[in-house]
Amino acid sequence: MTIQWFPGHMAKARREVTEKLKLVDIIFELVDARIPYSSRNPMIDEIIQHKPRLVLLNKADMADKEVTREWISYFAEKGIKALAINSQAGEGMKDIVKASHEILKEKFDRLKAKGVKPRAIRAMIVGIPNVGKSTLINRLAKKNIAKTGNTPGVTKSQQWIKVGKELELLDTPGILWPKFEDQEVGKKLAVTGAIKDTLLNLQDLVVFSLKFLEERYPERLKERYKIESVPENVVEMFDHIGELRGSLRAGGIVDYDKVSELVIREIRTEKFGPLTFERPSDIMSAQESTN
Ligand SMILES: Nc1nc2c(ncn2[C@@H]2O[C@H](COP(=O)(O)OP(=O)(O)OP(=O)(O)O)[C@@H](O)[C@H]2O)c(=O)[nH]1
Ligand SMILES: [Mg+2]
């Protein structure tokens, strides 16, 4: 099972983002708070060069708050300001404007000293598919403005969306692709719904998810599926869940496909509570081992 990364798409997206870079003062890099590493584009630093940026950990409502704090510190250590937001409910919107001002203060003070009239900060949102770019644009604009999906040709008539008096946003976000050639990254993207299930074997995805829950959130796993201890053999776990929930085929045999769909659905609909699938320490130890 290999998940393909599409170099053609990537090159095009990269070109589009690069073209728009010169129009803006700051990049809002949107990532999924549940997978702040895996939902980043691997070449983002190279693409945006030295352009100031603000990392937005979106869908923070679905992520483990304690781990979100760890991620904010992780980015701070790299000199990058990061904020936890919930675009769906509109939480953290004011902080975005405030943080942008702080990040760009020196630049704007310099311009002011040269006699340039103060103007709104110009920003562009970039992020992987399904991370919440359109939802954020609509929230900031306070109306439904962002087109859903990718509309070719819109770059010709560049629109700016006013966010109060102080911020202007490009109406078309930059879509960048995640690195889903890496198996583990691919699984995290699939569990959180960033890539289609059909790209992966669902049972593999569930084995991965159950192992993850056992490791990081064992109490929630045991409580949800009413077990004292997690069986060592994952097949036993599938059998147990299937019997508990009646995911059976004719003859009373556990239907592993049904069990798989059930578990994934329960994770995505937050039946296990808010979950974060990676911590900064995971990433740092993975990087050390490849050095
Ligand atoms: N719980 C939660 N859901 C969110 C949040 N932001 C966006 N969503 C949901 O995530 C899904 C994808 O959001 P979109 O705004 O369409 O994502 P996008 O990045 O524009 O996706 P593409 O246009 O496909 O690249 C939608 O179902 C949103 O309602 C958030 O902060 N919290
Ligand atoms: Mg969109």
Report which protein residue has its CA nearest ligand 1's atom 29: 88
Residue with more model confidence, 156 or 282: 282
Tell me if residue 114 falls in helix, strand or coil: coil
Minimal-distance CA residue to ligand 1 atom 8: 132
Q: Given ligand 1 and candidates 68, 130, 147, which is best to mutate, with the most ligand atoms within 8 Å of its CB?
A: 130
Q: Are 58 and 31 in contact (CB under 8 A)?
A: yes
Q: CA-CA distance, 139 to 130, in Å (whole number)? A: 16
Decide whether any atom of ligand 1 lies within 6 Å of the 88 Cβ: yes
134 Cβ below 6 A of ligand 1: yes
Higher-confidence residue: 150 or 203?
Answer: 203
pLDDT above 70 for 140: yes
Closest C-alpha to 179, from 125, 128, 130, 132: 128
Q: Which pLDDT does position 153 carry in this prediction?
A: 41
Q: If you search the block for the tokens 């993207």, which residue do you land on? A: 189
Rounded mean pLDDT, 130-152: 76
Q: Which residue has the tokens 């599409």?
A: 6
What is residue 212's predicted lDDT score, i.e. its pLDDT? Answer: 97
How would residue 69 be classed by pLDDT, with cut points 50, 70 and 90?
very high
Mean pLDDT on 138-165: 68
Please determine, for residue 171, whether its predicted confidence score (pLDDT) is greater than 90. Answer: no
- Closest ligand 1 atom to residue 87 Cα is 31
Ligand 1 in reach of 87 Cβ (< 6 A): yes
| Shortest-distance ligand to the CA of residue 92 | 1
Q: Which atom of ligand 1 is closest in space to residue 148's alpha carbon?
A: 23
From the CA of 125, how far away is ligand 1's center (Å)?
Answer: 13
Output 13-19 pairs: Cβ under 8 A, ≥24 positions apart. 13/174, 13/175, 13/176, 13/177, 14/43, 14/47, 14/176, 16/155, 16/174, 17/47, 17/48, 17/124, 17/126, 17/174, 17/176, 18/47, 19/155
Query: What pLDDT shows up at residue 1?
Result: 41
Please list the helix, strand and coil fractions of the chain in percent, rounded to the nearest 5, in that order. Answer: 50, 15, 40
Angle, helices 133-141/93-113, rounded to nearest 10 degrees = 70
53 touches 125 (CB < 8 A): no
* Whether residue 175 has its Cβ less than 6 Å from ligand 1: yes
